[in-house]
Amino acid sequence: MIDRHALPVLNRLLAPPARALAGAGVGADQITVAGFALGVLGGVAVAADWFGLGLVLILANRLADGLDGAVARLAGPTDRGAFLDIALDFLFYALVPLGFALADPGRNALAAAALIASFVGTGSSFLAFASVANRRGLRAADYPGKGIYYLGGLTEGGETILVFAAMCLWPTAFPVLAWSFAGLCLLTTLARWHDGWTRLKPDE
């Protein structure tokens, strides 16, 4: 929901470091993989109850996610880069609630499972729409820099990171935050199902 408004500002802020990285010969795929490694370490830190470190690593992952796109736009985006970016992102999003489940299974496991299941709903509806939209040659006007059709919703990347940050800052509130955000993700999934049903109807 907030991504379409935040992305133009972030793109301007990330342009100078992206030019520096591209000038130094650092490729977008290298940044994507490094960012994913930071995200995995963030999940490990959360599982070890190091929530402050986990938050820093999670934010570093998101910074890398912005930089890889900025570098790709300078060098020329590739299909492999678009695939790698979205595939690793979706796994990263699941690793954070998994970390909280491992940190306190008795308190967090059920809420974490519900949140991960809700991510499957948002992720699968997102990718299913993008796959068919690409075959039809559709483009998302609000997200022109994305490598695939980017179907927005109530819960997008920006909202997810804000919730992850809140979880790290107030870890005892994880169950409430997880159940609440899972409900919002369910609404996003239902909205995307509706979009798919109405916008991708058979050609007449």
Q: 3-class DSSP state for residue 82?
A: helix
150 pLDDT band (50/70/90 cuts)?
Answer: low
Amino acid at site 145: G
Domain count across the chain: 1
Whether the CB-CB separation of 19 and 11 falls below 8 Å is answered with no
- Assigned domain for 109 exists: yes
- Assigned domain for 31 exists: yes
Q: What is the pLDDT of residues 46-102, one digit of tens each?
A: 999 999 999 999 999 999 999 998 999 888 888 898 899 999 999 999 999 999 999
Cα torsion for 181, 144, 35, 55, to the nearest 10°? -30
pTM for the model stands at: 0.88
204 pLDDT band (50/70/90 cuts)?
Answer: very low
Q: Which domain holds residue 54?
A: 3-199
- Assigned domain for 204 exists: no
Distance CA 34, CA 30 (A): 6
- Which residues, 6+ apart, have CB-to-CB distance to 50 below 8 Å? none
CATH number of 28's domain: 1.20.120.1760
